[in-house]
Structure 1
Amino acid sequence: MLRQCTNCGAAVEVDDAVLSATCRFCDSPLVDGARAAEVVDGVVPFTVPKARARDAIVRWLAGLWFVPTALQRASRADELGAVFVPAYAHEALCRSRWTARIGLHWTRTETYTTVENGKTVTKTRQVTETEWFPTSGTHAVVWHDHLVSASQGLSEAESNALEPFDLGQAVPFAPEVVAGVAAEQPTRTHAEVDAVAHDELLGRARDAVARLLPGDRSSGLSVQTDVDVQGVRLVLLPVWIAAVTAGGHTVRVLVNGQTGEVVGQVPTDWGKVVVAVGAA
């Protein structure tokens, strides 16, 4: 779609999914404030400046093992850009019914014989046994601000790795909040996001039950959970996105614009792995 720059008057072609961009003629911000205000419930501001994000990437690469040396020694991150990425924050009540077997340890003294210096001797030792019992119960928990990426450009795995984001710091949408920073509206359908949220909330509920099981051990945990989503908000999350190129390798690296957490997938130098295994 064409959006007119309020500074120079140029008509700039902007993708329909983009809420905030920059005029390519005068570098002024282009913000579709009216449309964004209708759909965006909050914006988490950037608190990590560009220089700090760049330094964090360099330190992160230097601290990785088994990556190509050229990448490990990369001294800069190319094309480092700030983006407000859309995500849906879910408020959900999960009610679970569960069954499991729990094991309780107890110790007994065992007598045994062995040979020492050619003689048979009798000794005792402590042996730990486990007695198993069936058990069941219910569990309920409310999850606040469970985030699911609403962007095709940021996978759910990447989004999860970047978390947490403190949504308590979110501010209402205003053009000046996102001015000069790329921002997009959701490019994933509600059906896609709802399915991901449901699966992740089931997983969180199961993990919560597993952590609460009594006993010393457990097995055969079965959990049936009803998920009641009580509210959904669209928020824009601050993310630095960089391309790091060195030694013929290019990797995409992401930085949480609020905490400085760095994530990315880098290739493995299998030569280093072989050397490390051989030295072990």
Structure 2
Amino acid sequence: MSDLLEKCTVCGGLIDEEDLFCGNCGTEAPHRQDAHTPDSTLSTHSFSCSGCGAAMSYSAEAEALRCPFCGSTNLEKGKDHKVIAATKVIPFRVSEAEARKEMREAIGQGFWRPPDISERAVVKNMVPVYVPYWVFSADVATFWTADTSQTPMGASGDWYPLSGEHRARYEGVLVGASGALTPNETSQLCPFDMSQGISPKDAHLDQYTVEQFNVARKYARPMAKSGLESLERKAVDMKFVPPRSRNVQVNLRIQNMSSEPMLLPVWIMAYQYKDEVYRFLVNGQNGRSTGHGPVSYHRLFMVLGTVLAVGLGIAIIAMLCGGLASLFSG
């Protein structure tokens, strides 16, 4: 078992060393029982969606409860319980009008989209949601080796061995902790400017929908390590390993990893095109967007028809050339 995990004294579930309580039963973590952490957890009136499984708390001003992730109104009120409290919140900077404009422009881009989608798409639901993320930081030490064709003067071989070391500090590595948005969606919304984080007390969270942390820290940690390894390998390849190289090996050691829970702003929209409803997301800080959309089957069939016609033409030409060759050889 990893040194970063310990067992809950009540249910036996695994608890990360940075966790304050067990994610299964809510029992306070053994290493935190003597710690004074008044703002580390909170008890809230929350709702869970039976349609997509999202757990969230709603604005006190909300008149009708509807899941912003799937549009379902089949929500169940949960009992007061401990949840992870964000240490910082990134406030919304993108207005509703700006988010709508971004959606209109983005959904019409791409060859495979229907040409009339930007005009005919109807926004059915649009909600500003604070989505949970884990924000990781760590030190990375790297030792790398490679063979390069850039051999020194007088070398007898065609390849020359190289090696080196690199150390770096990475901050703000984000791992989505949403239970309703996919890892690809939370990743596509990045980056965020983490320096603009404010205290949750100053963020007026009672006026927004706030999704609770659905991905425990112990599950986010391996994804953060994968992200750190990707960043470091890219840095080594770009800065140190010569362009003409082979057998590149990069060995990393990640140290002093820490994390904090944060809430990041996302506009969540549902738009309808013809009879189908699609989800579209806009980064509430900088306007970066991602989402799903319909495929133009007319264009798809046109491309397939063109490919088949070209393939058939090549086959016919090949047959004719083969027949002529046989004729002349006879």
| TM-score, normalising length: structure 1 | 0.75
What is the deviation of 1:44?
A: 0.3
In the alignment, structure 1 residue 60 sits paired with structure 2 residue 92: no
Q: Give the 3-state SS of the residue equivalent to 1:77 in structure 2.
A: strand
Give percent identity, aligned residues only: 24
Measure the CA separation in 2 of the matches of 1:228 and 1:271: 53
Measured after TM superposition, the shift of residue 43 of structure 1 is 0.5
CA distance in 2, matches of 1:25, 1:246: 27
The aligned counterpart of 2:47 is: 15
How much does 1:148 deviate? 0.5
Deviation string for 1:127-178 (max 9, x for gaps)? xxx9432211111111111111111122221122111111111100117522
Aligned to 1:80: 126
Q: Quickly say closer, same or farther: Cα 1:233–1:20, change in 2 above 3 A.
A: farther
Query: Which among 154, 170, 177 is matched to residue 143 of structure 1?
Result: 170
Alignment match of 2:190 (pick from 163, 181, 188): 163
Say if 1:58 and 1:74, in contact at 8 Å, map to a contact too.
no
Cα distance change of structure 1 residues 229 and 154 upon mapping to structure 2, 3 Å threshold:
farther
For the 8 Å contact 1:105–1:216, the answer to whether it is kept is no
1:217 and 2:278 aligned:
no
How many Å apart are 1:182 and its aligned residue?
0.3
2:281 matched to which residue of 1?
254
Query: In the alignment, what sits opposite 1:101?
Result: 147
Displacement of 1:228 after TM fit?
A: 1.8
Number of aligned positions between the proteins? 239
Which runs of 5 or more structure 2 residues have no equivalent in the other structure?
A: 1-43, 49-54, 66-80, 311-330
Whole-Å Cα distance in 2 between the matches of residues 270 and 213 of structure 1? 47
Equivalent position amino acid for 2:47 in 1 = D
Report deviation, 1:65: 2.1
The answer for the alignment partner of 2:320 in structure 1 is: none
Contact 1:78 1:244 in 2 (8 A): yes
Deviations 1:14-46 (A, max 9, x none): 32743443455599xxxxxx977x721100000
SS at match of 2:102: helix
Structure 1, unmatched stretches of 5+, are 1-11, 28-33, 107-129
| Amino acid in structure 1 at the alignment position of 2:288 | E
* Amino acid across the alignment from 1:180: Q
Stretch of structure 1 that moved more, 16-25 or 237-246:
16-25
User: Given the superposition, is the C-alpha separation of residues 275 and 72 from structure 1 closer, same or farther in structure 2, using an over 3 Å criterion?
Assistant: farther
Matches within 5 A, 1:235-250: 235-250=262-277
Query: Offset at 1:184?
Result: 2.0
- Tell whether the 8 Å contact from 1:91 to 1:232 is kept in structure 2 after alignment: yes
- Contact 1:43–1:172 at 8 Å: present in 2 too? yes
CA RMSD, Structure 1 to Structure 2 (Å): 3.0
State the match for 2:35 in structure 1: none
CA distance in 1, matches of 2:260, 2:222: 16
- Taking the aligned partners of 1:45 and 1:136, their CA distance within structure 2 comes to 45
Q: Matches of 1:35 and 1:192 in 2, distance apart?
A: 19
SS in 2 for 1:164: coil
Greater RCO (Cα-Cα under 8 Å, separation 6 or more): 1
CA deviation string 1:211-268 (max 9, x = no partner)? 1234332222211111124321111000001112112332211000001111113343
Q: Is the 8 A contact 1:70 1:246 kept in 2?
A: no
Confirm whether residue 174 of structure 1 aligns to residue 220 of structure 2.
no
Match of 2:19 in 1: none
Partner residue in 2 for 1:186: 213
